[in-house]
Structures are given as structure tokens and as C-alpha cells.
């Protein structure tokens, strides 16, 4: 404990006091598109940058123990989470646990090994509309009982082709401090 606490301040607190929830896509460099240096912000990444229970858990820790004061939900164009539905994922997993392939006709199993029905119990949080998913996630975060009402949450989409962050105004409006 002494090693990470100096003069009552956690050494792992983000210098700019904000957190970003974004996608795990390897093409994304949140530090670059948000103009960050090491230690500036917390970056929470998962498939699609979705407001899952675990992402909200991380955001709450970021605020409660590490002092972040605002949060950003940033999805991106050309996201893999747009290429399948919950039913497709559930079917793929029920057939095989091996890596699937995709072509112009959709996702396909290699048909090796056994599958599992456990995938039907998971909400895969797939995306059919980027702006709508950003809005849904901001609303989910803002309405969560563990999230204080005085934390603003902003919604953006990162355009992977242009490198620009595009605000989703309804999401930012929903994320305002009331």
C-alpha cells in the first residue's frame, strides 16, 4: 500500500481526471486520438466499448477510489461488433469453440470440436447502429445506481478512416449533469 500511496495521493490516479470507455479493436490508439500522455486518463477497453457490468465496475472504481470527474464513451466506425448478432454468436458457440471465419456470406464455424450452450446466457452487446449504441451506453451509465449524478458522460464515435472524433449530441445531452 505504501508503494502506491504518496502524501495521501494514489500514484495511479489519472492526471487529467477522466476515464474513457472504448473498444478493444487493435486499430484504435485512445492515447493518440484523445491527445493523451501516459498517466493522463484511465482507458477501459472491451469488445465494442460497451457499458457492460464490468465496464461500469471499472468506471465506478475510477471515480470512487481514483478521482475521475468525467467519463467518455467512444465507439468507432467499422467495428467488428456490427458484423454479427447475439443469435449468430450463440449459434457459432453451440457448434464449436474453435475460431470462426468470416467471408462475404457471413460467419462460419470450422466445424471442429464441440460447442457449448453457455453462450445463450450472455448478452453479447452487439451493435446495429453506432450512434444508438453510444446513446444506450451513456444512458445505462448515467442511470446506474452506483454512478453519482454529478459525473458528466460524453458520447463520441471515432472515425477510423479520418481519425476524427465525432460527437453524438443526443448521448452527450443524456450524459449531462442534471
Listed by start position, the domains of the chain span 2-81+126-174, 85-121
Residue-wise pLDDT for 132-144, tens only, equals 999 999 999 999 9
CA–CA separation, 36 and 145 (whole Å): 30
Mean pLDDT of 20-35: 92
Task: With a cut of 80, say whether residue 121 has pLDDT above it.
Answer: yes
Q: Which listed CATH number (3.40.1050.10, 2.60.40.1120, 3.40.190.10, 3.50.30.50) goes with 2-81+126-174?
A: 3.40.1050.10
Per the CB < 8 A criterion, the answer to whether 30 and 51 are in contact is: no
Q: Measured between alpha carbons, how far is residue 70 from residues 18, 48, 106, 130 in Å?
A: 5, 20, 38, 21
What is the pTM assigned to this prediction? 0.89
Q: Give residue 2's pLDDT band: very low, low, confident or very high (50, 70, 90).
A: very low
Task: With a cut of 90, say whether residue 34 has pLDDT above it.
Answer: no
Per the CB < 8 A criterion, the answer to whether 48 and 128 are in contact is: no
CA–CA separation, 136 and 124 (whole Å): 14
Residue-wise pLDDT for 97-110, tens only, equals 999 999 999 999 88
Amino acid at each position: 500500500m505504501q508503494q502506491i500511496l504518496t502524501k495521501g495521493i494514489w500514484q495511479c490516479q489519472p492526471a487529467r481526471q477522466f476515464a474513457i470507455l472504448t473498444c478493444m479493436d487493435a486499430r484504435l490508439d485512445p492515447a493518440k486520438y484523445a491527445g493523451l500522455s501516459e498517466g493522463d486518463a484511465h482507458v477501459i477497453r472491451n469488445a465494442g466499448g460497451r457499458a457492460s457490468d464490468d465496464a461500469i465496475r471499472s468506471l465506478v472504481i475510477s471515480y470512487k477510489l481514483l478521482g475521475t470527474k468525467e467519463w467518455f464513451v467512444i465507439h468507432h466506425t467499422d467495428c467488428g461488433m456490427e458484423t454479427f448478432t447475439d443469435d449468430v454468436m450463440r449459434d457459432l458457440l453451440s457448434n464449436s469453440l474453435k475460431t470462426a471465419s468470416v467471408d462475404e456470406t457471413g460467419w462460419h464455424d470450422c466445424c471442429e470440436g464441440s460447442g457449448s450452450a453457455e453462450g445463450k446466457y450472455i448478452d453479447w452487446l452487439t451493435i446495429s447502429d453506432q450512434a444508438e449504441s453510444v446513446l444506450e451506453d451513456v444512458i445505462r451509465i448515467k442511470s446506474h445506481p452506483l454512478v453519482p449524478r454529478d459525473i458528466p458522460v460524453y458520447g463520441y464515435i471515432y472515425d477510423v478512416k479520418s481519425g476524427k472524433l465525432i460527437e453524438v449530441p443526443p448521448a452527450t445531452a443524456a450524459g449531462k449533469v442534471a
